[in-house]
Amino acid sequence: MAPLVGLTSWLILLSLTSNASTRQSATIVLSAHGPRPEAQAACSALDVDFLRYLDYDKSTREVEQYWVGSEQNPTCRAITTFGKLKTLPCDARLPALCSQSAPLSSLSNSNNGSQWQTTVQTGEAAITGYRDKLSFRFLGLKHAPYPSRFTYSTYQAPGGNVSALEYGPRCIQAGCNTPTCSEDCLYLNIWTPHLSSNPNSSKKSVMLFIHGGFTSGSGSDTVYDGGNMASRGDVVVVTINYRLSTLGCLAVGNTTARGTYWLSDQVAALEWVQIHIEDFGGDKSRVTVVDQSAGSASVRALLAAPPDAINSTQAIFNEKDCTQPDEARRLACLRALDPTELISGTITRYPVLDGEFLTTSELVLDGSGSLLDVAIMTGVMRNDGGPFTSFAKDGNASQVLINQGYDATTILSSGLYPPGDTGNTTLDIFNLTQRVTTNAMYRCLTQSTAFAAAKNCVFPPTHRRATRQRRQRTPRRPQPAALQVPQRRDFLRLRHSQYLLDSWTAFGRTRDPNPQIGYMRARGYVNTSAVRERATPWFGWLVGLRL
């Protein structure tokens, strides 16, 4: 285990995009200056050696020099940022380049052995994480104490020696049992490309991701691993857990159970980040909240309790045989149940006005409310409504729309949804219905929000655009028979993924989702540079809130 001592600043420099990338080189930069013996000792403390370069010359310009090893020459060698290898006096004070031999972490292979571990001091806590090929990883950090059921959570300061080598449990949800899931689930995870014991060192932008679902998911899901984004985007990535379903949303009138516990969990996580993230290389003044699907409701936080949410609460009391004459006793009955009983049958999943975390039912965008110094990105995927659309059992488009709760007559007579001509009636009806669902659930709200906010200057910059449909559901749940595309498209998918990631992290760094061409070129991101030079400004399917 290597604490942050001696050479004070560490930075992993990588050009990786994903596991499919062909660029597999990795380097650890020790940015504090020191003589060669100290630099070599610092590399050895990480259980690595000097990075060994062959002697080559790419440029005559010299900007910075780093201590490196040399296979051919045992003397004190340094390399410039333009690739020129030089022999220098061994007592010259330079930063160092160390080799990076830590393996890439995955769901089936996560090597957090002592040779990769490192410890960060934050407040009264010494937190031990580890590095892999992409980033420094600190997993399962508790950001709020075990909350009493149906009460708000609060920030918890870490203390003592804390192991951050494994994810914490997921919040209670269907199909997830102990010890994998627990009510004591309020943990966050950090991936960072930069650590420093120098409080005056430069800090990275922070991207805090809130997963969607409202009834399922967690910050430890493999699809949300932040190592690649931290490495390629040069940002600190944080994912969090929050309470789900009835355990996160239930409101009971005339009691202290006012709902919106999930939002208090997220606020506690943000407070933890504000207090501690600078010790992990992040800039607390540049935090971007990134949300997906239902997670975007965490950013808007504007919905009042709809009528069916109230009906759901009464149904839960009846189903769980908690029918005492007063609300307080019924609430006590629910608190005594096994938590898994509260996520089966009827559930609650809606944000409600609780008077504390949610105090208004609308986001004022007409210019009459407060003007906030918050940059906004919002958007949809073209087929976002697809997962919520069923295939037709017959060729009746009108009946399919009615079954999904839509006004079929108005929709079909509007001319906005022309029937398809694929020759497959079932597919044509599905495509029509999923377009309606996408617009109803996502596009109309995001487009009107972005337009009104931009028109009335509610937020400084507002970015919106739709992307094309995805080719797979998710990396962990592919559907090869239905969705797999020819392998020749792999490059196009990789290039698209690169551009998406570079756009999101550019927004985190600069409030502008359009990747800076100079930055892309400096890092060797050829694909994004080429796309950026000919692309129009846009943003895709996530919602981002820059705090």
The pLDDT, as a whole number, for residue 383 is: 82
- Residues 62 and 36 occupy one common structural domain: yes
CA distance 102 to 343: 40
Among residues 247, 269, 300, which one ends one of the domains?
300
Among residues 99, 134, 169, which one ends one of the domains?
99
- Residues 165 and 78 occupy one common structural domain: no
pLDDT confidence band for 487 (50 / 70 / 90):
low
- Residues 26 and 142 occupy one common structural domain: no
Of residues 148, 106, 129, 102, the one with CA closest to residue 190: 129
**Residues present in the chain in total:** 547
pLDDT in tens, 382-419: 788 888 888 887 788 899 899 888 999 999 999 999 88
Range of the domain at 408: 376-546
Number of domains in the chain: 3
- Residues 292 and 390 occupy one common structural domain: no
Among residues 300, 330, 357, which one ends one of the domains?
300
The answer, yes or no, to whether residue 58 has pLDDT greater than 60, is no
Strand-strand pairing, 236-240 and 187-192: antiparallel
77: CATH: 3.10.100.10
pLDDT confidence band for 542 (50 / 70 / 90):
very low
- Residues 137 and 222 occupy one common structural domain: yes
Mean pLDDT, all residues of the chain: 77
- Residues 140 and 67 occupy one common structural domain: no
- Residues 33 and 73 occupy one common structural domain: yes
Domain presence at residue 16: yes
- Residues 83 and 119 occupy one common structural domain: no
> Within 100-244, where are the H helices?
227-233
pLDDT in tens, 496-509: 888 888 988 998 89
Domain presence at residue 6: yes
Q: Percentage of the chain with pLDDT > 70? A: 73
Strand-strand pairing, 136-142 and 65-68: unpaired
DSSP string across 205-257: EEEEEE---SSS--TT-GGG--HHHHHHHT-EEEEE----HHHHH-B-TTSS-
Query: pTM score > 0.75 for this model?
Result: yes
Task: State the average pLDDT over residues 209-229.
Answer: 87
The answer, yes or no, to whether residue 480 has pLDDT greater than 50, is no
- Residue 71 half-sphere exposure, CB side, CA atoms within 13 Å? 4
CA distance 282 to 213: 27
- Residues 119 and 72 occupy one common structural domain: no
The answer, yes or no, to whether residue 308 has pLDDT greater than 60, is no
- Residues 402 and 259 occupy one common structural domain: no
Report whether 368 contacts 455 (CB < 8 A): no
